[in-house]
Amino acid sequence: MKKIIAAAMACMIVFALAGCGKSAAVKETERLISDIGTVTTDSVGAVEAAEAAYRALSREDREQVGNYDVLTAAREALDAAQLEAVRHALVGTWQTKLDMKDALAEEIDAQFAGMDISFSDYLDHFEMAMRLTLNEDGTYHLSPDTAGMEASLQSFRDAMTPFIRGYLQHYIANALKESGIEGDFSTLEGLEDAIGMDLDSAVVQSLGVSIEEYVDTLMEEMNVDSLLADATAEGSYTVEPGKLYFSDKSEPTDFALEGDTLTLHVPDSDTLLGLTELIFTRAS
């Protein structure tokens, strides 16, 4: 009897070591894991096939997979390889041109409430060209196009003068109406007849400066140097899946990279005139 029991125990050990107690699904999963081999960015299909096979197993069968640690190591290696490939693809110079006309007009309209028309009807264009350089050593530099910014500011100034004139015409007309003065204030000629002088002279008497001088004061507050300084940044960056961390930012920047197009989703704290998405293309 003892010999029979010993023989049975020996067979059980042999069967266990030979994997004879494993189901076909477990053996197939182990084969898929073994076939992964050296992990590169081209190993996506092999790793995902092995993971899918493992997930399809019952809890009991999963415990029988002898090389599961190889699968977890392969997944970690694949994630690291893919992230390194993305980081490498990000290296280079990227450019974008921001059309800020509507966003800027919205800001101006909010400051000069009550106008029947928008500042966008006066503004020809307002664009800001930007270049973002991501270096191999993990540093970056963001800079605007100075000449382009100066041209946009000139467009802004050209629009602001007639806009302010229209705003003051509207403001004075309302003031006359509220004072009980009657007249046709719907046109500039009617307004000037009511006040007995041209609008520009009335503005000088009221504000002590001409409309042009008032606009000059506004433009001094929007000088190129300060705007360019605010739009310039440099430092270090790190990459995580779908996120860029810039050293001068408190929040990560979500990004998507498709070929030569890099899309940045700007954190709320860094939103520039309501622009929440910046689309860059690789500079030639």
What's the per-residue H, E or C state across 59-99?
A: HHHHCCCCCHHHHHHHHHHHHHHHHHHHHHHHCEEEEEEEE
What percent of the chain lies above the pLDDT cut of 90? 50
Give me the pLDDT at residue 269, please.
58
User: Going by C-beta distance under 8 Å and a sequence separation of 6 or more, which residues neighbour residue 249?
Assistant: 267, 270
Query: Tens digits of per-residue pLDDT, 200-257?
Result: 998 898 889 999 998 888 888 766 666 677 778 899 999 999 999 999 787 899 999 9
Token readout for 98 is: 């921001």
User: Do residues 203 and 211 make contact, with C-beta atoms less than 8 angstroms apart?
Assistant: yes
Lowest mean pLDDT among 15-19, 36-40, 274-278: 15-19
Residues near 86 by Cβ (< 8 Å), separated by ≥ 6? Answer: 239, 241, 257
pLDDT at 8 over 50: no
Partners of 146 in the β-ladder: none
Of 249 and 122, more confident: 122
pLDDT digits (tens, 9 = 90+) for 64-86: 999 999 999 999 999 999 999 99
Q: Count CB atoms within 10 A of the CB of residue 156.
A: 24
Alpha-carbon distance of 29 to 44, in angstroms, equals: 16
Of the listed ranges 20-24, 31-35, 50-54, 153-157, the least confidently predicted one is 20-24
pLDDT digits (tens, 9 = 90+) for 34-63: 999 999 999 999 999 999 999 999 999 999
Which pLDDT does position 271 carry in this prediction?
57
How high is the pLDDT of residue 273?
Answer: 56
Domain boundaries, the chain: 2-88, 91-179+222-282
Q: In the prediction, which pLDDT does 76 show?
A: 97
Q: Look at residue 115 and tell me whether its pLDDT is greater than 50.
A: yes
